Structure 1
Amino acid sequence: MKTLILTNRIPFPPNSGYPIVVYNTMKGLLKLGVEITLFSINPNKYKVDVEDIYDPLFEQIKFHSFNLDTEVNVYGALLNIFSNQSYNVSRYFDEDAAKLLGDILKENEFDIIQFEGLFVVPYLDVVKENSKAKVIYRAHNIEFDVWERIALTEKFTPRRSYLQFLARRLKVYETEQINRFHQVFAISEQDRQSILRFGCETALEVFPVALDFEKYVTDPSKTSFPTLFHLGAMDWRPNKEGLEWFLDEIWPDIEKLNSELRFYIAGKNMQKQFFEYDSENLVVEGEVFDAVEFINSKAIMIVPLLSGSGMRVKIIEGMAMRKCIIATSMAAEGIRCENGKDILIADTADEFYRAILQCITNPKKWREIGENARKTVERDHDVRIIAERMLNIYQKLLTV
Structure 2
Amino acid sequence: MGNVLFLAHRMPYPPNKGDKVRSYHLLRHLQQHHRVFLGTFIDTHDDDEHLPALKELCPDLHVERINPKVSKYLSLTGLIRREALTIAFYRNAGMRSWVQRTQAKHGFQASLVFTSAMAQYAEPLLAQTPMVVDFVDVDSVKWRDYAPAHRWPISWIYQREANQLFSAEKAIARLARRSFFVTPGESALFRSLAPEASESVETLSNGVDAEYFSSKPDRLNPFLEEEKAIVFVGAMDYWPNVDGVKWFASTVMPQVRARWPRACFHIVGRNPSKEVLALASDSVRISGTVPDVRPYLQFASAVVVPLRVARGVQNKILEAMAMAQPVITVPACAEAIGASEEQGVLEASTPPAFLASLNALLENTDAAMALGRAARAHVCRRFRWADHMKGLDAYFPHTTGARA
How far did 1:47 drift? 5.9
Task: Name 2:181's counterpart in structure 1.
Answer: 186
Cα distance per residue 1:360-394 (max 9 Å; x no partner): 00112221221111121112211222233322443
What CA distance in whole angstroms lies between the structure 2 residues aligned with 1:299 and 1:393?
44
Instruction: Give the conservation status (yes or no) of the 8 Å contact 1:90–1:122.
Output: no
1:1-400 equivalences under 5 Å are 1-2=1-2, 3-30=4-31, 32-42=32-42, 44-45=43-44, 48-49=47-48, 52-54=51-53, 58-71=56-69, 76=74, 79-128=77-126, 132-154=128-150, 156-197=151-192, 198-199=194-195, 200-219=197-216, 222=219, 226-277=228-279, 279-395=281-397
Could you list the runs of 4 or more consecutive aligned residues of structure 1 that deviate by over 4 angstroms after TM superposition? 72-79, 220-225
Aligned to 2:341, what secondary structure does the other structure show? coil
Seen in structure 2, the aligned counterparts of structure 1 residues 50 and 227 have a Cα distance that, compared at 3 Å, is closer
Q: Report Cα offsets for 1:269-317 as digits up to 9, x if no partner.
A: 1013333336313221001111233322323211111113222111111
TM norm structure 2: 0.89
5+ residue gaps in structure 2? 400-404
**What SS is found at the alignment partner of 1:309?**
coil
Q: Deviations over 1:323-362 (max 9, x none)?
A: 1100012333421111343200101111011111111001
Contact 1:241 1:306 in 2 (8 A): yes
CA distance 1:74–1:376, change in 2 (3 Å): closer
- C-alpha distance 29-88 of structure 1, shift in aligned 2 (>3 A): closer
**1:15 CA displacement:** 0.9
Aligned residues: 391
Q: For the residues of structure 1 that align with 2:203 and 2:17, how far apart are their CA atoms?
A: 21
Give distance in 1, aligned partners of 2:391 and 2:57.
Answer: 24
Q: How far is the alpha carbon of 1:182 from its aligned partner? A: 0.6
For residues 370 and 311 of structure 2, the distance between their equivalents in structure 1, rounded to whole angstroms, comes to 28
Q: Greater CA deviation, 379-388 or 143-152?
A: 379-388
Change (3 A) 1:230 1:188: same
> For residue 96 of structure 1, what is the amino acid of its counterpart?
G
Unaligned stretches of 5+ in structure 1?
none
Quote the offset at 1:136 in angstroms. Answer: 0.4
Q: Deviations over 1:49-77 (max 9, x none)?
A: 1665436x943542111112343778646
TM-score normalised by structure 1 residue count? 0.90
CA distance in structure 2 between the aligned counterparts of 1:110 and 1:202, rounded to whole angstroms: 24
Q: Distance in 2 between matches of 1:227 and 1:158?
A: 39
